């Protein structure tokens, strides 16, 4: 080096959105097991980017039977208990409270009312059940309830709703009576001819997410037939290939999206608006999952002021995580290598 020349220093950011040129985890930027956090200095208004470790996990409950597939967990504040399904057994904390007829597949849960009493309503995609505050599991046996149903249930204004995935028909229970259903209590999501995938709720509206379209319905308080009417302008030609990817917080819906033009992305519905939150690099990874994208599982968690939406990709065995607060993607792993968080 000539004379007293001092080399330039360059600050290299340790946090960045994934920028992979392919779906491989072996090349390009990979932000693993950590999350970014922007801190602004009040005095100067300057911002600094810091890197935080991802949250860990430890054993919380151990149900009395550990055999079979873990199919879902639901926390119910009313009883302050965690309900889980392992194989065909359903547990309240660690106590076995009953048996379902199926042994695999995701469980869909929602809280609601039966008369004036709070309950959990759930489906395994074949049958529907209720759990009361005494932890009594009861199968819904009304012949007017369609079986099987899509693995998605919702509650709105006293009614339980399920969907027939093949027809797009939305069935409702009797008011405040989830054990009773009528043949005329239905309306169809039919603006576009695709199958129904999942039910969600946006503010006081019911959202029906299909394979390639999404429709919005509201409670019109109809005295016969379905209480719902369609919001005519509330339809978008964006659908979902994976019922398990749908997750909700207080007022937003997250899911893996698809359109008939091809490819996968991740979107948020907020105040009836669709926003794509996946980057091109993230979409490349989703596309590589191929047909098994249908088994993708989505989840939400809050940690130290951040809200995270994660998607578990079963074939690639990777978990991609979006930090809603920072608008940044990273990847979480349960151990060294590309092992998904579940």
Q: Tens digit of pLDDT for each residue in 31-83?
A: 788 888 888 877 677 777 788 888 888 889 999 766 789 999 999 999 999 99
From CA 23, how far away is CA 68, in angstroms rounded? 32
Q: Which residue has the tokens 């349960």?
A: 334
∠ CA 259-265-269, nearest 5°, is 85
CA atoms within 13 A on the CB side of 70: 11
Closest-CA residue to 282 (of 13, 31, 12) = 31
Buried b / exposed e along 210-245 (16+ C-beta atoms within 10 A) = bbbbbbbbbbeeeeeebbbebeeebbbebbbbbbbb
Residue 117 clears pLDDT 90, i.e. is over it: yes
Place of tokens 């209480």: 227
Give the separation between CA 126 and CA 85, rounded to whole angstroms: 15
pLDDT over 70 (residue 179): yes
pLDDT recorded at residue 246 = 97
Average pLDDT (118-141) is 97
Q: For residue 317, what are its two tokens?
A: 């065995």
Q: How confident is the model at residue 329 (pLDDT cuts 50, 70, 90)?
A: very high
Query: Average pLDDT over the chain, rounded to whole?
Result: 89
> Does the pLDDT of residue 19 top 60, yes or no?
yes
From the list 162, 123, 156, the residue with the least C-alpha distance to 139 is 123
Per-residue pLDDT tens digits for 252-264: 999 999 999 999 9
How many angstroms separate the CA atoms of 12 and 240, rounded?
38
Q: Is the pTM of this model over 0.85?
A: yes
Q: Is the pLDDT of residue 2 over 70?
A: no
22: left (phi over 0), alpha (psi -120 to 50) or beta: beta
pLDDT of residue 16: 63
């Amino acid at each position: 080096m000539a004379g007293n020349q001092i080399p330039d220093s360059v600050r290299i950011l340790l946090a960045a959105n994934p920028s992979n040129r392919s779906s491989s985890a072996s090349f390009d930027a990979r932000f693993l097991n950590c999350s970014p956090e922007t801190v602004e200095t009040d005095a100067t208004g300057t911002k600094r980017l810091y890197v935080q470790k991802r949250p860990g996990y430890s054993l919380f409950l151990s149900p009395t039977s550990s055999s079979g597939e873990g199919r879902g967990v639901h926390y119910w504040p009313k009883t302050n208990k965690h309900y889980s399904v392992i194989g065909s057994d359903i547990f309240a904390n660690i106590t076995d409270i009953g048996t379902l007829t199926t042994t695999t597949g995701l469980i869909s849960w929602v809280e609601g009312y039966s008369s004036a009493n709070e309950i959990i309503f759930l489906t395994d995609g074949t049958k529907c059940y209720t759990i009361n505050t005494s932890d009594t599991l009861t199968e819904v046996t009304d012949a007017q309830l369609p079986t099987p149903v899509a693995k998605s249930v919702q509650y709105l204004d006293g009614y339980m709703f399920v969907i027939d995935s093949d027809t797009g028909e939305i069935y409702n229970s009797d008011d405040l009576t989830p054990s009773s259903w009528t043949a005329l209590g239905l309306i169809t999501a039919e603006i576009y001819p695709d199958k129904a995938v999942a039910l969600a709720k946006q503010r006081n509206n019911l959202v029906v997410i299909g394979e390639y379209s999404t429709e919005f319905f509201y409670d019109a308080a109809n005295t016969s037939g379905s209480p719902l009417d369609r919001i005519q302008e509330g339809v978008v030609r964006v659908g979902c290939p994976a019922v398990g990817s749908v997750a909700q917080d207080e007022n937003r819906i997250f899911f893996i999206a698809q359109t008939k033009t091809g490819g996968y992305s991740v979107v948020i519905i907020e105040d009836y608006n669709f926003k794509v939150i996946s980057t091109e690099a993230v979409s490349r990874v989703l596309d590589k999952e191929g047909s098994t994208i249908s088994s993708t599982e989505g989840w939400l968690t809050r940690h130290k002021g951040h809200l995270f939406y994660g998607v578990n990709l079963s074939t690639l065995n990777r978990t991609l995580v979006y930090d809603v607060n920072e608008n940044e993607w990273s990847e979480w792993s349960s151990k060294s290598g590309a092992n998904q968080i579940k």
